[in-house]
Structure 1
Amino acid sequence: MRIAFLVNSIEGETANYTTTHLALSALSRGHDICYLTPGDFVLRPDDSLMVRALMLPASNYKKAETLYKDLRSKQTSVETLDVSEIDILLLRNDPSEDSVDRPWAAHVGAVFGRLAAARGVIVLNDPDGLARAQNKLYFQDFPASVRPETLISKSLEEIRDFIEQQKKGVILKPLQGSGGKNVFKIASPDDSNIKQIFEAVSEEGYLIAQSFMPAASEGDVRFFLLNGLPLQRDGRFAAFRRAPAKGEIRSNIHAGGSAVPIEVNDTMLSIAETVRPKLIQDGMFLVGLDIVGDKLLEINVFTPGGLNNLSQMYEVDFPLSVIEALERKAETRKGYRGTLNNRELATF
């Protein structure tokens, strides 16, 4: 089958990204792959949906570094394909990366993903579900039992009042954002730089303030779910702790955080079970839960990363499990006599 990966840009990819390792696993299983970026869709007057797909010059890659090198080389070619020539479209673009400099590109995955799904392509995660998850407000749709106390506002007065009620302080960040950008810890409403922090974060729109959990100083747990269930392979869960660098409150790997092995406990499994119905309802195939203690900090439904770290850490090929799941979906659609819509297939 042919799998297409929609990414923000080819230049922004790296050999270490989960997307690269998913592509490598797909090729190892004998599948064709191609890459798309937000500007590569074409809807023609006859209502046919075309894509300008970036094709790699080879298919027998053994290392992610070699695949990545070829992806950015002049040997790649662009082919115009009818979207029906793609079996599965994986939406791996992060809207927050484009929201400021290329706002036109931020929602392309959801918009054209719907059109592709209507033409028979299996699109994951489901574009209708992703459209509802464009910012952290989506997180508020999950049961309150797994969420820290939260305020969403653009009012400094409201935020000061909220901080005053939180004895352990708050974490302040933009509602539309990812990757740990503009994330601050504020201990009290009297902090001398609270106004400057507020101004910096509010430039990006609404702010989200969450009660600070002391356990966060040890980092958070990235826990992958596949088809609504914990991702497991060879007896290992796809989960690790992201420990922050010294002096950092952010545990993101690209912000200096380090990946540490963990044992998944009953609390983490209970959180996963609590959010599973909503994820299945929204057609979320692959997601990353960020857990601190008995609470969720975030649910990454766009570009959950870290599968490559996990594979190295536990010597388990987690990306291969994802590709095998895609194969089952394609076979299910092919052999099913009734009608299966894209959302049903997303978590089938």
Structure 2
Amino acid sequence: MRIAFFVNSIETETPGYTTTALALAAVQRSHSVVYVEPGDFILRPDDDLAVSVAVLPDAPYKTSGKLHAALQDAAKQKKTVAISDIDVLFLRNDPSLDGTGRPWAANAGIMFGRLAAERGTIVVNDPDGLAQAQSKLYLQSFPEAVRPASLISRSIAEIRAFIDKRPKGCIVKPLQGSGGKNVFHIAKPTDSNLNQIFEAASGDGYLIAQVYLPEAKAGDVRLFLMNGLPLVRDGKYAAFRRVPAKGDVRSNIHAAGTARKVKVTATMLGIAEMVRPKLIGDGMFLVGLDIVGDKLLEINVFTPGGLTRLADMYATDFAASVVAALEEKRTLRQAYGKAMTNSRLATL
């Protein structure tokens, strides 16, 4: 099986990324791995879809570091192949990273992912589902019971009024964005730096204000779901607690948060069950839920990260389970052909 990982940039990939862990697991299970960047697709006059790929050389990679080094060399000599030579296209880019500097690249995975799916390549997560989830607005389409009270607006007056009714304070952040950038905790509407916060956060467009959950002081829990269900291997859940740095409201690892083991509770599993029907309907193969208390703060569907940390934390290779699930999808594709839609196959 040949698996193509679509990323923002091969150059900025690291040995610690979840995508690298997935690639390593695929190679160790005797699959061919290639990487694709936003500018690599080619739609020819005869409607054939081709793609320029960095081919990871066949080798017994034992560490992600060696695989990453080989990938950087492979990126210097890309090869063009037909999309029919790709069994699985795994979309693992973060559109928000390209939204400003390379707006043409932000939606390339979704656009060409659709074309690839039409031609029989298995595309995960399903590109039509990802198109619905290009901002934090996606969370609002899930049951109210699992989400914190929120307001989405660019009106400072509306946001002030919302904050005024929340004695425990609010979190304000851009509707588009990732990695904890421009996330602020506003304790009360009279905060002296409120205007500066609005100015900083609203530069990215719409803002989302969420009621502050006191449980967030202990961080949030990242719980992976695969095929709509909690990812479990060897009796262990793919989940960890992200604890914010001292004095910081953000628990993102990119924002100096730390990862710790966590016991998955019935409440967390209840949230996962509540969101499962829509995630399956949207073809969301692999996602990360960010949970605080009994609420869901975000659903990460583009590049949920943390599998490398989980492997170290629990001595469990969750990435191998993900690749095994892709193998099963390829078997189903071979059996059913195009009679089974990509969105349905993505979560079987």
The match for 2:195 is 195
Q: Which residue identity does 2:26 align to in structure 1?
A: A
The match for 2:228 is 228
Identity of aligned residues (%): 62
C-alpha distance in structure 1 between counterparts of 2:246 and 2:2, whole Å: 44
The match for 1:6 is 6
Does the Cα contact within 8 Å between 1:55 and 1:76 map onto a contact in 2? no
Gaps of 5+ in 2: none
Matched, 1:145 2:145: yes
The match for 1:72 is 72
Superposed counterparts of 1:1-348, under 5 Å: 1-73=1-73, 76-336=76-336, 339-348=339-348
Deviation at 1:40, TM superposition (A): 0.3
C-alpha distance in structure 1 between counterparts of 2:333 and 2:118, whole Å: 14
Deviation at 1:285, TM superposition (A): 0.1
Counting matched residue pairs gives 348
Q: Which residue identity does 2:120 align to in structure 1?
A: G
Deviation at 1:57, TM superposition (A): 3.3
Deviation at 1:113, TM superposition (A): 0.3
Structure 1 stretches of at least 4 aligned residues deviating more than 4 Å after TM superposition: none
Deviation at 1:237, TM superposition (A): 0.4
Does the Cα contact within 8 Å between 2:10 and 2:72 map onto a contact in 1? yes
Deviation at 1:73, TM superposition (A): 2.6
C-alpha distance in structure 1 between counterparts of 2:235 and 2:300, whole Å: 24
C-alpha distance in structure 1 between counterparts of 2:201 and 2:246, whole Å: 23
Deviation at 1:56, TM superposition (A): 2.1
Q: Which residue identity does 2:170 align to in structure 1?
A: V
C-alpha distance in structure 2 between counterparts of 1:246 and 1:187, whole Å: 17
Q: Which residue identity does 1:105 align to in structure 2?
A: A
SS of 2:260's partner is strand
Deviation at 1:76, TM superposition (A): 4.9
SS of 2:68's partner is helix
- Identify the range of structure 1 (204-213 vs 72-81) with the bigger mean alpha-carbon deviation: 72-81
Does the Cα contact within 8 Å between 2:156 and 2:198 map onto a contact in 1? yes
Q: Which residue identity does 2:219 align to in structure 1?
A: G
SS of 2:140's partner is helix
RMSD between aligned residues: 1.0
Does the Cα contact within 8 Å between 2:32 and 2:58 map onto a contact in 1? no
Deviation at 1:335, TM superposition (A): 2.0
SS of 1:287's partner is strand
C-alpha distance in structure 1 between counterparts of 2:57 and 2:270, whole Å: 45
Q: Which residue identity does 2:124 align to in structure 1?
A: L
Deviation at 1:70, TM superposition (A): 1.6
C-alpha distance in structure 2 between counterparts of 1:59 and 1:86, whole Å: 19
TM-score (norm 1): 0.98
Does the Cα contact within 8 Å between 1:52 and 1:79 map onto a contact in 2? yes
Gaps of 5+ in 1: none
C-alpha distance in structure 2 between counterparts of 1:63 and 1:184, whole Å: 38
C-alpha distance in structure 1 between counterparts of 2:337 and 2:149, whole Å: 47
SS of 1:336's partner is helix
TM-score (norm 2): 0.98
1:194–1:323 distance in 2 versus 1, CA, 3 Å: same
Q: Which residue identity does 2:158 align to in structure 1?
A: E
